[in-house]
Every structure is written in structure tokens, then in C-alpha cells.
Structure 1
Amino acid sequence: MSLLIFLAAGCSVQIAGISDEFKGYNQQDHNVIESHGQIDNPQYLDEFIRSVDKGEDAEVRIVSYTSEGDPVFKDLNFNGEEIEYKLDTTQDQFGADKVSKKKCKEINRIDRTKETVYEVSCGKNTSPIDLLTIDYDANRQDSFEIDFSYDNGNRVNISTQKQSLTVQSDENIITQNGFQFTEAQLNQIYKLLVLENYMEEKDLSARCSQSPDYSMTVTINGGQRVFEWSDCDEGADVADMTQMAERVIDIIEKTQSYRNVFE
């Protein structure tokens, strides 16, 4: 059973505008979904770029939902030589109601501090077309809190809401109050969560122990996700979630509060 909880509040409001008629697009293969700032399946664009680099045929669709819940489609098809870009706004009731196509030579992923941009170039005298922008600026959220515990010989727990860090060994418990990430560190964690598609259900099944190695609660704009798992579990998402968690741990253990515990 996937150990994941979604409390209906801010995060659910962000996707509430999607009409039932178009929810099926989320389930289709190789669809990247952009809905009110939430991104699902961005890895399909990375797979498409890798195929282009290898000269292999590939296709991908980006479905972007307007504020009214209407889908706009961006289709990319690579035939081994060039990329066909198709923009379909026929189902956007306030859009141009047309399908336009362009032949493009290049697709790029541009990584910046607070965002990743995917774009295609379709001519020397034209500006690149923005396909998708993934925002990693946690400050743009009304609220972003994380409660995370893990076992590295000691049991470590951090809570941004309580501003606390606790390290528990067999002998004693040490607590550092006033714990905070820097803005850059918080954005790094937010980026890891976004790239891991934290809004989607995760298969963290086939538990190998009663006490999980990792426990993570993510609260954004009143919506909440809870994950619990061990790296020896056999769920399909365990390896990726563990890799993400280990990178978060690396950020935690570079904070001054963590270092103070062991000085």
C-alpha cells in the first residue's frame, strides 16, 4: 500500500480547475502535465531530449491547463532528423482555436538557480519557444514546510515549522532550537521535491521493517503529503525516493545547527 496522504486544502485547490472531461490526459503515456504551477512527469521531456541527442525517433506531449481548466497541447515529434512542434489551442475556450506547426532543429533544457526551462529553437531569426518552465522558488509559495526524520546511526529529525533539529542516540537526545535553512538550501530541497513529482502517488509498498528509515511530511499552501519508507522496501518508487532523501540529508548535515550538535 502506498503510504501517502493528501489533505484537501491548498494543493488540491491548485488543481481543482481541471475539468473531469480532460483528467484522462494525466493517465496517457508520455504526457507532461502542467497545472497551476504543479508539474507531473517532466522526465518525459528529458527522455525526449536524450532520444534527439541519439538521433532516435521520439515523441512527447505537454498538456498545460489554463486557469479555467482548459487544456492546451504542445506536441513534439522527432523523426531522426528534425523536430515537429505542434501547438493545439482548439480546446481552450478563450484561446486562438487553431492548430499551428513548425519544423525545429534543436531542443534545450536550461537549468537556472530557481527554475528549469525547456525550449525549442525553430529558426535563426526567431526566438526560442518556451515549452515548459519549472519553478523552484519556494518563496513564491504561500507556505512551505518540511518535517523529515531519518536514521544514520542516530535518529535525526528536522522541522522547519517548529524550527527544531533533534538528534537521538541510544543514550540521549540533543535538540537545537531556532533551526533554519538558508533561502538557497530551502530552494534546493523544494527543487528535489518538484523533480521527484512529490504530488503524485508513490509506490512505497512491500515494507521490509516495522520502523521506516525515512519519514517525510511536506506541507505546501495547506496541502500535505506524508511518505514513510525504508531503502530495503520493494516499491517501484523506493530507489528514487531514497536518492532524493539522501540529497536532502546532505543539505541538512551542512547546516550550522547540525554541525553544532557534533562540535
Structure 2
Amino acid sequence: MLKKISSIILIALMAVFISGCGLDKGTASDLPANSGQNKKPSSNEVKEIHGMMENIERLNLFVDNAQTGKDDKIRLTRYTIEGDPIFHDLAYHDSKLTVKIDTTEDKFGQGEISTYVCKGIRKHESETETKFILEECPDVTDLLTIFHDVDKEDYFSFELKYGVGKKNVINTKEQKLIKDLQNGETVAVSDFQFSKKEMNAIYKLMIFSNYLGEKKLSKECNQKPYEGYDMHVWINSGERHFEWSECDKSYDGQEMSELVANILEILKKNSTYQSLPEVKGQYE
């Protein structure tokens, strides 16, 4: 059953541009009711919607808790192409993992609830995929596989403008890089490229931030100077555009700002970027 769902992730990646995401690392409490794929998950719910993830950090926390023997419980809700939820309720208690899979709301599924008792759960990461694997579990092994291989897509590129006045630019579509030296000068590279490994890492960050989801973002900011952000993402035949400021402290605003911070960490390790002059001034 799980393998069937995993097999359609890549096919359905661009099927629907929906939903938001969260990064609440809360502790265990009551499992959430079905909130629908267009609503944000509760603190103890993780959603997988056609290959995009919401609240993935909560699943990471659950794995950490289970591996250290700490009781915890979460719900993983996965949506079919038709938009029907399949619930996976995971509970770790007394050194065992109980997994309950509910397909009663899947109109094309088996319409049943199955319960498995497993030894535990672990995460395996590679450059192109992230897998959550159930250990010593009858009939089921792979809980969730998330693919982040840019070579599997027909096309993937992005442009990010950021900083005060959005003078810094990363444009993989035009292979352009601009660095603001903050003294009235900028330096540009006209043939900039990330390595495949770096692009896969950035693509992974975007998937984990549910970049295809609808985001409620604000460009307003009542401080001067302030950092602004403008991001275009091109994936296959689709395009997404986001614009916000550092003053946007909403859930989506903080999620997108964290995404940018993580992309910049990858950029700073790039050899071409490291060869550029240091910032010479400072905005006040």
C-alpha cells in the first residue's frame, strides 16, 4: 500500500499547487483530526502532498525521540492524486512502535484500518532522496520516500534577489550572480553555476519548505533599512513567485526566510562565491 503511494509522487509533483507548511517542533499531544490538504497541519501532524512536505521537522523529531527511547506520537497524512487522505498514526511507547494506517477516506483504496507493531524507525538520506524506514515491521518497510533529484525533472531553476534593496542576486536560469558590497558597489559573475550536488541540496530545501504551496506573504516593513526577498522558481512547465520582507513574521514569512538563509549557507561554501570581494560597508 505504501509502495503504491510512493510510486506516484514524481508523476503527481506538478499536479496541484496547494497548501502551506509548518515547522513546529512541539511535544506529543492528541492526534489531529482530518484538517484537509488546504489547511496547515497541527503541531503533531506531518503532511505529504504530491511530493511536497509540510512540518517535516516534526517527523524528524519523532525519529529522534524513538531512537532515544522517548515516548511520542504523530500523524503522517499523505494525499492521493484525487486529494483523498491516508492517515498514518505513529506511536512510540515502551520500546515499540505502533503504526496504524487508515485508508477509509481513500475512495480508490481498500477502505480499511491496519495496525502494525514495529521495532522502530530510522531516516536514511542521500543526495537524491530522503527515506523514513520502519524497522522489523511486518508487511511494510518504507514509511515515506521524498525525492529531490533535479535530474529527474525536465527543468528546474530559480532566481533569488535578497538583502537591502534586493541588490544581491542568484539566477541559475541566466547563470548570473551579483553580490552587494554595501558601499555603493556590486560585483557580478556572468557564468555562475551551482554544482549538481548543490542544486540537489537546494531543491531538497525547497521541497521541505513546500515551495509549491500557496504562501501568504507581506512586503511591508516599518523599519529602515530592511532586507527584502524576491524569489522565482521554475519547475518543468510551472512557475512560482514569492515576495516578502524580513518584517514578515507570519508562519509563511518565517518559513521562507529560513529557506533563504539555508540557500545562502550553500552559496557561501561555493568556490566562485568565496572568490568574490568581502563586503566593504554596512547598512545602518
Matches within 5 A, 1:1-263: 14-15=15-16, 24=36, 27=39, 28-29=41-42, 30-123=44-137, 129-151=141-163, 155-169=167-181, 170-200=183-213, 201=215, 207=221, 208-209=223-224, 211-221=226-236, 222-230=238-246, 234-236=249-251, 241-259=256-274, 261-262=276-277
Asked if the contact 1:193–1:244 (Cα under 8 Å) also holds between the matched residues in 2, the reply is: yes
Displacement of 1:182 after TM fit? Answer: 1.4
Cα displacement (A) at 1:48:
1.9
Q: Distance in 2 between matches of 1:69 and 1:239?
A: 27
Residues 206 and 234, structure 1, Cα contact 8 Å, conserved in 2: no
Deviation at 1:220, TM superposition (A): 2.7
Match of 2:192, SS state, is: coil
2: distance between equivalents of 1:68 and 1:168?
46
Aligned-partner residue type, residue 253 of structure 1? K
Question: Could you tell me which amino acid in structure 2 is paired with residue 103 of structure 1?
Answer: V
CA distance in structure 2 between the partners assigned to 1:220 and 1:136 by the alignment: 12
- Specify the SS of the correspondent of 1:219: strand
Q: Could you say what secondary structure the match of 1:50 adopts?
A: helix
Q: RMSD between aligned alpha carbons?
A: 3.5
**Relative to structure 1, is the Cα distance of residues 163 and 96 closer, same or farther in structure 2, using a 3 angstrom cutoff?**
same
User: Relative to 1, partners in 2 of residues 1:147 and 1:99: Cα closer, same or farther, differing over 3 Å?
Assistant: same
Query: In 2, distance between residues paired with 1:81 and 1:254?
Result: 41
**1:83–1:104 Cα contact (<8 Å) kept:** yes
C-alpha distance after superposition, 1:76-105 (max 9, x if no partner): 122343221112223333323322111112
How far apart are 1:189 and its partner, in Å?
A: 1.0
Are residues 53 and 166 of structure 1, via their aligned partners in 2, closer, same or farther at CA, if it must alter by over 3 Å?
Answer: same
- CA deviation string 1:160-188 (max 9, x = no partner): 11221123443444332122211111111
**Larger RCO: Structure 1 or Structure 2 (Cα < 8 Å, ≥ 6 residues apart)?**
1
Asked if structure 2 preserves the Cα contact closer than 8 Å seen for 1:204 and 1:237, the reply is: no
Offset, 1:262 = 3.6
Gaps of 5+ in 1: 1-10
Question: Partner amino acid for 2:202?
Answer: I
Q: How many residues align?
A: 247
Given that residues 121 and 127 in structure 1 are in contact (C-alpha distance below 8 angstroms), is that contact kept between their aligned partners in structure 2?
A: no
> Partner letter of residue 36 of structure 1?
H
2:193 and 2:256 map into 1 onto residues whose CA distance is: 23
Q: Once the two structures are superposed, what CA deviation does each residue of 1:109-137 show, in whole Å capped at 9, x if it has no partner?
A: 111111111121235xx576211111111
Distance 1:198 1:226 in 2: 9
- What displacement does 1:32 show? 1.9
C-alpha deviation, 1:214, in angstroms: 4.0
Shift of 1:237: 5.7
Secondary structure of residue in 2 paired with 1:46: helix
- Residue matched to 1:6: none
- Map Cα deviations across residues 31-56 of structure 1 (whole Å, 9 max, x no partner): 32222222222222122223324544
Tell me which amino acid in the other structure corresponds to 2:227. P
> How far off its partner does 1:139 sit?
2.4
Counterparts of 1:54 and 1:167 in 2: how far apart (Å)?
44
CA separation in 2, counterparts of 1:235 and 1:96? 39
